[in-house]
Structure 1
């Protein structure tokens, strides 16, 4: 860890899934901080591969393919591209810019996506998903198990036929919270970054009374108002709402008034 920089001496927990944790951890380290990677969600292939295989078989029937997250891309695109090139008639769409980058890494360009707030509401507000654009169209939504139904329900209300394809599943951390407790007890845990309400609930479930006391006292940086609201509903109050994605989290970390 660098001994200089705006985050020198600060240990920041990065809770993104392991495959997405690297860029934020590297940015923290470049600013002099010490990233502690502790994924709150572990990502696995879907328990049943048949829905994805069936969607790949009929991919040409869809007008729009929406990818909810980079994990959806990483678990769906290899199966799609193994069957052939991305169909020229199929419009890709994504909820966030990280997902756009993941699609580009697989050679899929021209993606529809929000440029500011990254959520289903903002995606649905784009002209390409308006009622007149999707009525009578078939839409595939590639996603993890569970999650919000707003996107699918709204597109159906607008007249689209929507298939939701589960291509990965999530679970909470399997190794317990000992690394966090050790850092807290040593006075060496300065903040957590959390990008998932589901992950935050997993964390609270794993913590005992001592751990929850530590968590309540620790700054919690979140990149979306919905996560901030859920954190408050779970009894947390030291919540810092940042801008979107890694860049927004880093900007908030750098602007924060750290105690001496």
Structure 2
């Protein structure tokens, strides 16, 4: 789908590409700026909306966890969203952070949010996933230690499963929920005339991949030919696990970044483009 004759130069190696941006609106500006600086066009088709939990039972559960923060030996934030929402709650009940609590972040960007607040953080920032966090020496011997995992509603259960198997007492603090605005995404996709030469889809998580797949199923009901065209667009994804999920679903061209950080996603895209246009 990429025009092999597009101009490639050292300053704008992405010229001739149009990248569909699928992250929630609040996480788009930096990523969009990096792509445009590299010469790419961009088009916003958010596949996820982040909303804080607001029902009374959910907010009371959050309040209970946050007020008991000092009881936990380890507190893990799985994403930037978890860090932002969690710190908003912590700020309400803890004028000073409790002593003796070890804070962890999945990803360098999540760690930066916590560090800016004043937390001393241990981060899994290479592959930015649960597996890397679980390999940290600090989380090997956790028998009878209390662990709090701050996350959105749902999500991967791996962290809790493995830490529980190691003998930890694990609780969740679910702070927000991820919605999929499918009708809005479908409208955006049609307005963007997706599927033209040079289009590429950037997906920052396995859930975003799921939503893209679901969106194409909805598109197939309205415009089957366009859905077929979009189904063969190159996908840019983070990490081997998400890359394999994409291949298993039949996507023919999958570009795998080291992790979901903007910098690593950009580096993988640049390398792929240059390999296609040496």
TM-score, normalised to structure 1, is 0.90
How many residues are matched? 255
CA contact (8 A) 2:44 2:188 kept: no
Helix, strand or coil at the partner of 1:39 = coil
* Deviation, structure 1 residue 220: 0.5
The ranges of structure 1 where at least 4 consecutive aligned residues each deviate by more than 6 angstroms after the TM superposition are none
The aligned runs of 1:58-77 (5 Å cut-off) are 58-77=68-87
Counterpart residue number, 1:33 = 40
Counterpart residue number, 2:171 = 163
Helix, strand or coil at the partner of 1:49 = helix
Q: 1:248 aligns with which of 243, 249, 264?
A: 264
Counterpart residue number, 1:97 = 108
Compared CA separation, residues 43 and 211, structure 1 to 2 (3 A): farther
CA root-mean-square deviation: 2.1
Helix, strand or coil at the partner of 1:146 = coil
CA contact (8 A) 1:183 1:189 kept: no
Distance in 2 (CA, whole Å) between partners of 1:138 and 1:126 is 17
Superimposed CA distance per residue, residues 149-183 of structure 1 (whole angstroms, 9 cap, x where no aligned partner): 11111111111111011101011125132332343
Counterpart residue number, 1:145 = 153
Compared CA separation, residues 35 and 69, structure 1 to 2 (3 A): same
TM-score, normalised to structure 2, is 0.85
Distance in 1 (CA, whole Å) between partners of 2:273 and 2:63 is 50
58-67 vs 42-51, which moves further? 42-51
**What are the ranges of 5 or more consecutive residues in structure 1 without an aligned counterpart?**
none
Correspondence 1:128 to 2:115: no
Compared CA separation, residues 21 and 220, structure 1 to 2 (3 A): same
Q: 1:214 aligns with which of 225, 229, 249?
A: 229
Counterpart residue number, 1:56 = 66
Distance in 2 (CA, whole Å) between partners of 1:14 and 1:139 is 34
Distance in 2 (CA, whole Å) between partners of 1:104 and 1:111 is 7
CA contact (8 A) 1:75 1:167 kept: yes
CA contact (8 A) 2:14 2:270 kept: yes
Counterpart residue number, 1:205 = 214
* Deviation, structure 1 residue 189: 5.4
Superimposed CA distance per residue, residues 88-110 of structure 1 (whole angstroms, 9 cap, x where no aligned partner): 311100111121012123232x2
* Deviation, structure 1 residue 54: 0.5
Q: 1:23 aligns with which of 16, 20, 30?
A: 30
Distance in 2 (CA, whole Å) between partners of 1:37 and 1:53 is 35
Q: 2:96 aligns with which of 82, 85, 102?
A: 85
CA contact (8 A) 1:13 1:189 kept: no
Correspondence 1:228 to 2:243: yes
**What are the ranges of 5 or more consecutive residues in structure 2 without an aligned counterpart?**
1-7
* Deviation, structure 1 residue 23: 1.5
4-13 vs 138-147, which moves further? 4-13
Distance in 2 (CA, whole Å) between partners of 1:120 and 1:78 is 23
CA contact (8 A) 1:6 1:32 kept: yes
